[in-house]
Amino acid sequence: MSGLGGLNKSSDGVVLGLVQLQLPTVVTPDDLAMQTQRICSLVAKARRNLPSMDLVVFPEYSLHGLSMDTNPSIMCRLEGAEVAAFKAACRDNQIWGCFSIMEHNPYGNPYNSGIIIDDQGEIKLYYRKLHPWVPVEPWEPGNLGIPVCEGPNGSTLALIICHDGMFPEMARECAYKGADIMIRTAGYTAPIRHAWNITNQANAFCNLIYTASVCMCGSDGTFDSMGEGTIVNFDGTPLVTGTGRPDEIITGEVRPKLVQEARRVWGVENNIYQFGHRGYVAVKGGAQDCPYTYMQDMVEGSYRLPWEDQVVHTDGTSCGFSEPTRSYETAPLVSKVQL
């Protein structure tokens, strides 16, 4: 059930709008300013489109396009004009919004960041993409973990970005921290369509979480993004699926209380609980050890694949980027900006 795309809102429902935004070309600060205003106009369109909508979601790269341009003159800051405009749009239209920015980093390459702003114009969640899509993307790996925030109508929101969703650990972390709705924004193109769909569904089912995911859409003359907005139920069943039509807003209702109920009362396939309580039928409380070698090795800083030495692509040179010389461990940790 999606309440007929959110037309029939339940008292405990959260109505989502996923914007399959037309892929832009942004080269100059003037281009950036124009695209900022275009996004703000679509916030207003979302509010007019569906008065019951609680949260409007814009895809990754909606502000900057897919050029991978790291030109400092078009990078954003949390205190900059672009974010200020997004705050005003949410406040003026009394709607929550999720936005994508490429964020200036004084210590290295920019971050690929996402923010969620409430209907009062306040930033409630700030996230930096943990897993840039290598070897294609030049962004600095995120250093803020995976935050969650209180969302509209009793929901708890998490945000991941594009390639993040190919790692099951990302969705598991969102659920582990209490999120009942996981947003995934992306700029993916058509070759990723099948993987996009199955991971959105698996992430939902394996963690008893709603997933709400949307890509850029249309062509910029070079790249073709696929749209494919989708809302998936916590049992892995797609509730709403979009098309390849640019600027279409995919809408649907989710009900966080049903997620919360399932996490409490399900026995079979309550995977988010059972993961940490293995075999509780046989042993009291289940086994709560960590039998996963890769997890232990990652904590120790010794993660290494059996075929590590045969991996071909280990930097971005195949996509035209210079070989990096700076180690992540020596990168200054940029403190979290006060929201």
Radius of gyration of the chain from its Cα atoms, rounded to whole angstroms: 20
From the candidates 9, 87, 124, 129, give the one annotated as an active-site residue: 129
103 included as an active-site residue: no
319 included as an active-site residue: no
162 included as an active-site residue: yes
From the candidates 40, 76, 149, 162, give the one annotated as an active-site residue: 162
From the candidates 9, 40, 60, 82, give the one annotated as an active-site residue: 60
Question: Which residues are annotated as catalytic?
Answer: 60, 129, 162
